[in-house]
């Protein structure tokens, strides 16, 4: 049933979609964790893996700028507006023209990047590598540029299906991608070395695309062999993309700066940062990305139909839930950083040194977990209102600060300084986006969200104090046993304290999952 202000039905739609996406995100993240376990066991924190991760930077840059978040943030609101008004002919015409332009652009850029790969690696991406390590990076990069083109089209299809509130196939796509890399790392790496990972990436991109094709068939997609920059819809997408591309460019430049700086540090620094980043992204992906992905089309529909009150209520509910989930997750990651890394990764070539290096970075990354989570939803609310300028200006400023902080902190804190700079930037970006959204939207139920934050903070700090005291009494336990025992206790204590504090999110979470 829909209430007079239109809030119930959108929240139920988001709850159902978020539950589905969250379940598949959990599967995908679990497989991503298995992927890192297999890669860690094969390569540890080594120079060879550092080269692979550095090689990923340019293909990822091209995908992100041309076909990743920039395109999604501009295409979904424009395409959704046509779908919301039942103008499917115009919607499919727009998708065809954008897709054709996207494919042509990515092929051109991939060829150009492949040709310039050597000087880019030698002078910009990883100048601190040895010549042999640089050549390995160049070779791997050229292979992975193939995946950039494939991912571009796959990302557009994902946006189309999400606009129709279809989330199953897009959420399955990352699952197949991770399975491909796991397969390559486990079966091919013994014979192919790190090149097996590049093969897994390209094959995974192809599977990422293939699994979504039935969705297009279901919605009777109609492709047209047309390419026009004069089309009003295409120009609207490009107009909305422009500031977002700038913002994402700064983010990607920050990643390249991190690789640049870390290439001058001890061997394995890039690998340790990557492992720590991915562990931090486990709760961020399961909670924030699943909810934000499910909410974005609803935001777009609410904004297109002028339902401001409904959007305010939706945002307040989502912010409260994300704080309830991510704040204790950050505390647990900080408190149990070394046991968690040991439990997840320490086997095979991933030794105690790699565990210590990764845990060191994880403690700093976790400080920004809540910031990263709220940015996921807050930025999408701006995009839904076709305002890409505000989040981009804020994002550019935050990432500029990230780069400056990285340059300052890398010397005293080594690779931990790069992680801390990221956390500081994410937190400041979150605060600025929330402030800007309040001014633009007239509020997002701030009192409710502040109360949720206070309860979550009190419960998290009490939980941390209890766990810290218990850990001091059990130094004889192995790191892996500490992760299992104290991690389970931490979750149980937090849930109990949330119940004592009568956190409404504790009751809302099972209802959301049930829906």
Greater pLDDT, 454 or 298: 454
With bands split at pLDDT 50, 70 and 90, how would you rate the model's confidence at 6? very low
pLDDT for position 20: 65
- What is the pLDDT confidence band of residue 2, given thresholds at 50, 70 and 90? very low
**Cβ contacts of residue 421 below 8 Å, gap of 6+?**
401, 402, 403, 405, 406, 408, 409
CA-nearest of 378, 380, 432, 376 to 401 is 432
The size of the chain, in residues, is: 515
C-alpha span between 14 and 461 (Å, rounded): 30
376 band by pLDDT with thresholds 50, 70 and 90? confident
**CB contact set of 234 (below 8 Å; sequence gap of 6+):** 94, 97, 98, 101, 228
Residue entry with tokens 């892996």: 480
CA distances 428 to 319, 372, 394, 423, 434, Å, are 16, 10, 9, 9, 10
Interatomic CA distance for residues 82 and 332, integer angstroms: 44
Closest by Cα among 132, 418, 139 to 260: 418
Q: What Å distances lie between residue 126 and 44, 148, 393, 400, CA to CA? A: 19, 20, 28, 20
* Residue 243 near residue 220 (C-beta atoms within 8 A): no
Query: 115: buried, middle or exposed (CB in 10 Å: 19+, 13-18, 0-12)?
Result: exposed
Report CA Rg, the chain: 22
User: At residue 341, does pLDDT exceed 80?
Assistant: yes
Read off the pLDDT of residues 282-311 as tens digits, 9 standing for 90 and up.
888 777 777 776 676 777 777 777 778 888
Q: Please tell me the predicted confidence (pLDDT) of residue 440.
A: 85
pLDDT band at 9 (very low <50, low <70, confident <90, very high): low
Across 267-278, average pLDDT: 94
Does residue 382 contact residue 388 with C-beta atoms inside 8 Å?
yes
3-class DSSP assignment, residue 29: helix
CB atoms within 10 A of CB 464: 18
187 pLDDT above the threshold of 60: yes
Average per-residue pLDDT for the chain: 87
CA distance 312 to 250: 30
- C-beta separation of 489 from 454 below 8 A: no
Q: At which residue do the structure tokens 């990607």 appear? A: 252
What integer pLDDT is reported at residue 512 of this predicted model?
60
Task: Provide the pLDDT for residue 200.
Answer: 96
CA dihedral 465, 469, 471, 474 (to 10 degrees): -170
Q: Is the dihedral of CA 30, 460, 14, 99 positive or negative?
A: negative
* Residue 18 pLDDT greater than 70, yes or no: no
> Are the CB atoms for 82 and 91 separated by under 8 Å?
yes
Q: Is a pLDDT exceeding 80 seen at residue 219?
A: yes
DSSP assignment letter at 266: S
Q: Output the CA–CA distances (angstroms, integers) from residue 482 to 335, 342, 460, 466, in the order listed.
A: 11, 10, 18, 14
Q: For residues 229 and 50, what is the distance between their CA atoms, to the nearest angstrom?
A: 40
Residue labelled with tokens 């995009």 = 383
State the pLDDT at residue 418.
96
Least confident of 234-248, 286-300, 433-447: 286-300
- Read off the DSSP letter of residue 130: -
- For residue 318, give both structure tokens: 């989502």
Verdict on whether the full-model pTM lies above 0.85: no
* Amino acid 304: pLDDT: 72
pLDDT, average across residues 430-458: 91
pLDDT at 124 over 90: yes
How many whole angstroms separate alpha carbon 363 and alpha carbon 422? 12
Confidence at residue 489, expressed as pLDDT on a 0 to 100 scale = 96
Q: How many CB atoms lie within 10 A of CB 89?
A: 10
CB 39 within 8 A of CB 285: no
Q: From 62, 55, 257, 48, select the one nearest 138 (Cα to Cα).
A: 55
Q: Report the pLDDT value the prediction gives residue 83, as an integer from 0 to 100.
A: 82
How much of the chain exceeds pLDDT 70, in percent?
92
Residue range 30-48: mean pLDDT, rounded: 91
Least confident of 75-89, 294-308, 426-440: 294-308
Residue 131 pLDDT exceeds 90: yes
Residue 31 has pLDDT above 90, yes or no: no
The Cα–Cα gap between 354 and 365 comes to 16
Distance between CA atoms of residues 24 and 209, nearest Å: 17
CB atoms within 10 A of CB 406: 23
C-alpha 52, offset from chain centre: 20
Q: Is 225 helix (H, G, I), strand (E, B) or coil?
A: coil
Selected residue with higher pLDDT from 67 and 295: 295
């Amino acid at each position: 049933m829909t209430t007079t202000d239109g809030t119930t039905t959108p929240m139920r739609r988001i709850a159902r979609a978020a539950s589905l996406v969250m379940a598949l995100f959990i599967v995908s993240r679990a497989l991503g964790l298995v992927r890192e376990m297999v890669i860690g066991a094969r390569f540890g924190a080594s120079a060879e893996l550092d080269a692979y991760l550095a090689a990923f930077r340019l293909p990822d840059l091209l995908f992100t700028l041309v076909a990743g978040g920039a395109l999604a943030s501009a295409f979904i609101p424009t395409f959704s507006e046509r779908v919301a008004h039942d103008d499917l002919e115009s919607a499919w015409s727009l998708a065809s023209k954008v897709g054709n332009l996207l494919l042509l652009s990515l092929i051109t850029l991939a060829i150009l990047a492949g040709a310039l790969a050597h000087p880019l690696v030698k002078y910009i991406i990883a100048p601190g590598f040895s010549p042999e390590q640089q050549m390995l990076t160049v070779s791997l990069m050229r292979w992975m540029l193939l995946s950039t083109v494939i991912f571009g089209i796959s990302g557009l299809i994902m946006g189309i299906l999400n606009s129709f509130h279809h989330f199953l196939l897009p959420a399955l796509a990352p699952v197949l991608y991770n399975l491909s890399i796991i397969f390559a790392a486990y079966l091919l790496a013994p014979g192919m070395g790190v090149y097996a990972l590049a093969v897994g990436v390209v094959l995974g991109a192809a599977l990422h695309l293939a699994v979504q094709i039935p969705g297009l068939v279901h919605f009777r997609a109609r492709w047209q062999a047309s390419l026009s920059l004069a089309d009003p819809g295409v120009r609207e997408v490009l107009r909305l993309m422009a500031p977002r591309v700038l913002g994402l460019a700064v983010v990607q430049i920050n990643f390249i700066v991190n690789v640049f700086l870390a290439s001058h540090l001890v061997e394995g620094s890039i690998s340790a940062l990557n492992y720590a980043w991915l562990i931090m992204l486990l709760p961020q992906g399961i909670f924030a990305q699943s909810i934000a992905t499910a909410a974005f089309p609803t935001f777009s529909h609410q904004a297109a139909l002028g339902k401001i009150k409904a959007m305010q209520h939706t945002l307040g509910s989502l912010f409260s839930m994300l704080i309830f989930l991510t704040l204790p997750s950050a505390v647990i990651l900080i408190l149990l950083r070394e046991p968690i890394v040991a439990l997840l990764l320490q086997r095979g070539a991933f030794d105690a040194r790699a565990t210590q290096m990764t845990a060191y970075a994880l403690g700093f990354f976790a400080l920004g977990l809540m910031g990263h989570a709220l940015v996921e939803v807050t930025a999408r609310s701006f995009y839904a209102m076709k305002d890409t300028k505000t989040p981009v200006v804020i994002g550019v400023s935050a990432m500029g600060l990230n780069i400056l902080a990285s340059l300052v902190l890398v010397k005293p804190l080594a690779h931990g300084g790069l992680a801390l700079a990221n956390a500081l930037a994410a937190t400041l970006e979150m605060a600025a986006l929330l402030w800007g959204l309040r001014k633009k939207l007239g509020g997002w139920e701030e009192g409710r969200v502040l109360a949720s934050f206070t309860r979550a903070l009190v419960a998290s700090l009490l939980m941390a104090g209890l766990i810290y005291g218990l850990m001091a009494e059990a130094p004889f336990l192995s790191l892996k046993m500490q992760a299992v025992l104290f991690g389970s206790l931490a979750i149980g204590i937090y849930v109990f304290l949330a119940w004592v504090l009568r956190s409404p999110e504790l009751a809302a979470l099972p209802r959301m999952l049930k829906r």
